[in-house]
Amino acid sequence: MKQLRRRSTLVATGAAAALLLIPAAVAFANGSGGSDTSLRALGSKQGLRIGTAVDAARLGGDKGYTDIVAGQFSTVTAENAMKWESVEPSRGVYDWTAADQLVRFARQHGQAVRGHTLMWHNQLPSWLTTGVANGSISDAQLRDILHRHVTDEVTHFKGKVWQWDVVNEVFANSWETPQADGLNADDFWIKHLGSGIVGDVFRWAHKADPKALLMYNDYNITGEDGTNAKFQAVYDFVRNLREQGVPIDGIGEQGHLDTQYGFDAQRYQADLQAFGDLGLKVAVTEADVRTFVDNPTDQVPTDSLAQYAQPYEFSELLKGCELVKQCISFTVWGVYDGDSWIPGTFGGEGYGLLYDVNLKPKTAYSTLQQDLRLAAGAPRHTNG
């Protein structure tokens, strides 16, 4: 891995400072000047936004949680509030309440919003999946409905969303059936609308908000599963989209790790860089590092080495992003272990985030602080 370059001064140019969109008063709200050790302040020194997924319903009501979101992070992602089932629970009836609340919060706290997600096979409204399953919604109608959804949602948040995860998780994993182009033949959208829908959704999103950064978001796309096949499929597909003039701006590498599998940090960094060299921005969008724990309530690691492996792998994730100048944000998938998706999905596992079940910062938190501080001379990231 190449060394972090040291640089004596870190004065943002006028343009870069404007793009950062972090008012100085907010960026340094937790201390004075350079003594602010919040993740957001440390990240801002290299133009890198540090983010978290947020449960919009908890903002305001839960002070400990809210203070961490406001104080530590310079970008926020709606963990669920912008998904289709949340914004259009009944056909034709939008409910933007929770998502709007998050966007307002972000604005008040000088945070950029990552919009998540416009086309995904999960968390679709039941009126849609039922209609498709019983044949009352034909594929042609489904395409029109998706077009309207993408246009309406992006238009609703026009000028307020920094990056959109436009398309999520449509490539085949090693245990799924890939098409010749690498897409998952069984994905709900690919199955009904074909591969061409991917480019179309980017075009529709771009039309609705030409300034938003449009990302393709997925997991295991930087070699995490021990092969680089999924990376290669995404790389080839996206290069092809760019050649066709499809408005895709970047790749979201989710970054869900598990200490039991290990992690090839060099492969990860090289893959991020390869995307960057295609002229794309990259973002780490859903970082967490899970491990085996005693129970889902306390989430104490059962393997004594996990207390080292967990922060170590987090550190590797962050450093890879720091070393790739096209990497514009590093987002963790949730604030604390008490509200992570991990225990509900992986039996016996947890401890995946930066704060423990009692909202106390863990070693992983201080490790990231340290990584950000030591990287003060890393390349300045291009912030969009």
Kindly state the smallest distance separating residue 345's Cβ from ligand 9MR, in Å: 6
Between residues 342 and 372, which has the closer beta carbon with respect to ligand 9MR?
342
CA–CA distances in Å: residue 200 to residues 120, 182, 259, 281: 14, 18, 38, 20
Catalytic annotation, pick one of 169, 224, 253, 349:
169
Between residues 96 and 341, which has the closer beta carbon with respect to ligand 9MR?
341
d(CA 163, CA 116): 9
What are the two backbone dihedrals, phi and then psi, of residue 293, each rounded to the nearest 5 degrees? -130, 165
d(CA 190, CA 119): 11
The reply on whether position 153 binds ligand 9MR by CB under 6 A is: no
Residue with tokens 């948040």: 157
Task: For the segment 158-187, give every residue that binds ligand 9MR (CB under 6 A).
Answer: 168
Kindly state the smallest distance separating residue 334's Cβ from ligand 9MR, in Å: 7
Between residues 122 and 358, which has the closer beta carbon with respect to ligand 9MR?
122
* Per-residue DSSP letter, 35: G
d(CA 82, CA 98): 8
Cα three-residue angle 14-19-25, rounded to 5 degrees: 80
CA–CA distances in Å: residue 187 to residues 32, 57, 64, 167, 347: 50, 30, 39, 12, 25
Residue with tokens 């006028």: 14
Amino acid at 92: G
Kindly state the smallest distance separating residue 215's Cβ from ligand 9MR, in Å: 12
Q: Show the site string, 68-97: x = touches ligand 9MR by CB under 6 A, - = not.
A: -----------xx-----------------
Residue with tokens 């992070």: 73
Question: Does 169 participate in catalysis according to the annotation?
Answer: yes
Candidates 94, 292, 341, 346: give the one binding ligand 9MR (CB under 6 A). Answer: 341
Size of the site for ligand 9MR (CB under 6 A): 8
Angle between helices 229-243 and 196-208 (to 10 degrees): 60
Kindly state the smallest distance separating residue 240's Cβ from ligand 9MR, in Å: 24
Strand (E) or helix (H) holding 257: strand 256-258
Between residues 249 and 339, which has the closer beta carbon with respect to ligand 9MR?
339
DSSP string, 296-365: TTT--BSSTTHHHHHHHHHHHHHHHHHHSTTEEEEEES-SBGGG-SHHHHSTTEE--SSB-TTS-B-HHH
Between residues 218 and 371, which has the closer beta carbon with respect to ligand 9MR?
218
Write out the two tokens for 18. Answer: 């404007």
Candidates 88, 187, 253, 286: give the one binding ligand 9MR (CB under 6 A). Answer: 286
Candidates 90, 108, 123, 130: give the one binding ligand 9MR (CB under 6 A). Answer: 123
d(CA 293, CA 329): 29
Measuring CA to CA, which residue among 345, 276, 360, 373 is closest to residue 67? 360
Catalytic annotation, pick one of 253, 286, 313, 316:
286
The reply on whether position 254 binds ligand 9MR by CB under 6 A is: yes
Between residues 120 and 235, which has the closer beta carbon with respect to ligand 9MR?
120
The reply on whether position 44 binds ligand 9MR by CB under 6 A is: no
Kindly state the smallest distance separating residue 79's Cβ from ligand 9MR, in Å: 5
Between residues 114 and 381, which has the closer beta carbon with respect to ligand 9MR?
114
Cβ distance 160 to 212 under 8 Å? no
Kindly state the smallest distance separating residue 99's Cβ from ligand 9MR, in Å: 14
Kindly state the smallest distance separating residue 218's Cβ from ligand 9MR, in Å: 8
Question: Does 88 participate in catalysis according to the annotation?
Answer: no
The reply on whether position 122 binds ligand 9MR by CB under 6 A is: yes
Instruction: Kindly list the catalytic residues.
Output: 169, 286
Binding site for ligand 9MR (CB under 6 A): 79-80, 122-123, 168, 254, 286, 341
